[in-house]
Structure 1
Amino acid sequence: MKAVFRHELSSYFTGMTGYVFGAFLLLFAGIYTMAVNLNAGLSNFEYVLSNLSFIFLIIVPILTMRVIAEERRQRTDQLLYSLPLSMTGVALGKYAALLVVFLVPTGIICLYPLVLSAFGSVYLPLAFGTAVGFFFLGAALLAIGMFLSSITESQGVAAGLCFVVMLVNYFISDLASYFSASAMASFWAFTVLILLVGGIFRLMTRNNGVSLVLVGILEGLLILGSVLGGEDFAGLFPSMVEGLSLFERFYQFVDGVFDLTSLVYFLTVIGVFLFLTVQSLEKRRWSE
């Protein structure tokens, strides 16, 4: 794991990727700081981080698109499979390097409220609490991006998929308001979701039988729940969809709430997508 981590980290800083990522993040952090704190005269540094979260839609696909996809394209992933390392160690090493690349500019951004506090009243606990939420939001998005990079050989496809996923997650709370609140609408929406899960499981395992059994079990549980729950299903899908938004969870920190539930959610997303990345690598390893 340490060897993979050192190799990945050096590749980011011997090339331009790490520097471009950090410069881009710091550039927009400076622009929003000037617009919010200096020009508008607000002392709320959390508003800077709230606006800055939109930049993840651009920088996360750029940073993660090559992390595994490029190795698969150049067939250098065969070297990883031949190492005396588990795929878990490989995935953790690559992810740790991504976190360091992200942590460096984030640490510099954390100095901004300290500088601003020398010229005005800045509530530092809220500013740094929001910075913690900002870091965990980025960490969760990086885990998603790394998984998407692991399922394709094309950097362009990986970046495109990642951008679409980030965009949907960014606007998912707004999209949830367009769903019907009826119990039947929630039932059919969950059915479509179950079919999507079954399709993804089929792509990951290439096992039709197990995928059909999984879909059957989930659909049976859904039918049982709809029969027993009745009208409790009304509005369930829209509220569930809204709760999946990583960005909405981050806005809790912006609003002054250091939400431990949101931190657990971020960590859960990280764990799930690292697990999926490991499974994708294992599948590739044994199919060669």
Structure 2
Amino acid sequence: MAAIYKRELKSYFHSMIGYVFIAFLMVFIGIYFMAYNLNYGYPYFSYVLNSVAFILLIAIPVLTMRSFAEERKNRTDQLLFTSPVNLFGVVMGKYLAMVTIFAIPCALCLIFPLIIKAQGSAYLKVDYLTILLFFLLGCVYIAIGMFISSLTESAILAAIGSFGVLLILYLWSGVMSFLPSSAGANAVGLLCIATLLIWLVWHMTKNWLLAACLELAAVVGGVIVFVVNSSIFEGALQNILGNLDLIEIFTGVLSNNLLDVSGIIRYLTVAGVFIFLTMQMIQKRRWS
């Protein structure tokens, strides 16, 4: 894994993507820092990161688009598949290299609260908690972008797809407001989600018998629960899908001045799921 990590890290700086990514983020952070903290005198650096979070929707896809798509296009992925490094080491080596690139501007952000402190009052606890969550949010976005890059051999399509998915997640709270609250509609929606997950299982395993059994169990189980107590399904979609509101976790520190440990666990879980899905996609291509 260390060899893959070093190779990927060097490649980002040799191709200038690493420098451009870091400079791109720092320019926007610097602009918002001057506007909010220096010009208007706001004592919270967290306001800056809250505004810059949208920039990640553009920056992260540029960072992740070539992670697996370019390897697949140039057919150099076959070298990875036949290397002595296991699949986990390949995926984590690439992932940690991108996380390291993103960690550099996050580390530079640690200086800004101290500058605010030198000018007057500052809230270092809130600011540093916000920087931590900003870093974890970026790690989740990187895992999602890496997974999408593993689905295609076009870096451009990977970047566009990552931007689209991240944009939907950024607007997730607004999307949730359009969901129905009735029990019947929520039951149908949950069944559709279950069917989608089962399709992913079939796509990765190609075991139609397993997929059929899972689908049958989902339909029968859903019907039984709906007949016994349909009220369970009322608002179920919003309760379940609301956990994917990643921005709410990040902005919660700014509004409540408290660290949500469950939010950190949710970030780590989502990142872990997409790393696992990336491994499954690479494993499938290795044996195809």
Tell me the TM-score normalised to structure 1 length.
Answer: 0.95
- 1:153 is matched with 153
- What is the CA-CA distance between 1:159 and the residue it aligns to? 1.1
- 2:270 is matched with 269
User: Is 9-18 or 217-226 further displaced after alignment?
Assistant: 217-226
Say which SS state the counterpart of residue 119 (structure 2) adopts.
Answer: coil
- What is the CA-CA distance between 1:253 and the residue it aligns to? 2.1
Say which SS state the counterpart of residue 153 (structure 1) adopts.
Answer: coil
- What is the CA-CA distance between 1:281 and the residue it aligns to? 1.0
**CA distance in structure 2 between the aligned counterparts of 1:38 and 1:218, rounded to whole angstroms:** 56
**CA distance in structure 2 between the aligned counterparts of 1:20 and 1:30, rounded to whole angstroms:** 15
Q: 1:98 touches 1:142 (CA, 8 Å); kept in 2?
A: yes
Q: 1:46 touches 1:127 (CA, 8 Å); kept in 2?
A: yes
- 2:285 is matched with 284
User: Is 155-164 or 231-240 further displaced after alignment?
Assistant: 231-240
**CA distance in structure 2 between the aligned counterparts of 1:175 and 1:200, rounded to whole angstroms:** 23
User: Is 36-45 or 56-65 further displaced after alignment?
Assistant: 36-45
- What is the CA-CA distance between 1:14 and the residue it aligns to? 1.2
Q: How does 1:226-265 map to 2 (within 5 A)?
A: 226-255=226-255, 256-265=257-266
- 1:129 is matched with 129
- 2:25 is matched with 25
CA RMSD, 1 decimal: 1.4
Say if 1:128 and 1:229 are closer, same or farther in 2 by CA, change over 3 A.
farther
Give aligned pairs, total. 287
- What is the CA-CA distance between 1:15 and the residue it aligns to? 1.4
- 1:96 is matched with 96
Q: How does 1:45-56 map to 2 (within 5 A)?
A: 45-56=45-56
Q: How does 1:135-146 map to 2 (within 5 A)?
A: 135-146=135-146
User: Is 211-220 or 114-123 further displaced after alignment?
Assistant: 211-220
Whether 1:199 and 2:187 are equivalent positions in the alignment is no
Q: 1:73 touches 1:153 (CA, 8 Å); kept in 2?
A: yes
- What is the CA-CA distance between 1:170 and the residue it aligns to? 0.7
Query: 5+ unaligned residues in a row in structure 2: which ranges?
Result: none
User: Is 208-217 or 63-72 further displaced after alignment?
Assistant: 208-217
- 1:109 is matched with 109
Q: 1:194 touches 1:219 (CA, 8 Å); kept in 2?
A: no
- What is the CA-CA distance between 1:271 and the residue it aligns to? 1.2
**CA distance in structure 2 between the aligned counterparts of 1:213 and 1:19, rounded to whole angstroms:** 50
Q: 1:4 touches 1:94 (CA, 8 Å); kept in 2?
A: yes
**CA distance in structure 1 between the aligned counterparts of 2:94 and 2:141, rounded to whole angstroms:** 14
Q: How does 1:173-188 map to 2 (within 5 A)?
A: 173-188=173-188
User: Is 63-72 or 209-218 further displaced after alignment?
Assistant: 209-218
**CA distance in structure 1 between the aligned counterparts of 2:261 and 2:224, rounded to whole angstroms:** 32
User: Is 249-258 or 278-287 further displaced after alignment?
Assistant: 249-258
- What is the CA-CA distance between 1:190 and the residue it aligns to? 0.9
**CA distance in structure 2 between the aligned counterparts of 1:220 and 1:125, rounded to whole angstroms:** 50
- What is the CA-CA distance between 1:60 and the residue it aligns to? 1.1
- 2:10 is matched with 10
- What is the CA-CA distance between 1:85 and the residue it aligns to? 1.5
Q: Percent of aligned pairs with the same residue?
A: 41
**CA distance in structure 1 between the aligned counterparts of 2:5 and 2:89, rounded to whole angstroms:** 9
- CA offsets 1:225-256 (integer angstroms, 9 cap, x no match): 33344213211212322221111121222221
**CA distance in structure 1 between the aligned counterparts of 2:7 and 2:246, rounded to whole angstroms:** 30
- CA offsets 1:111-154 (integer angstroms, 9 cap, x no match): 11111210121110000011111111111111111111111111
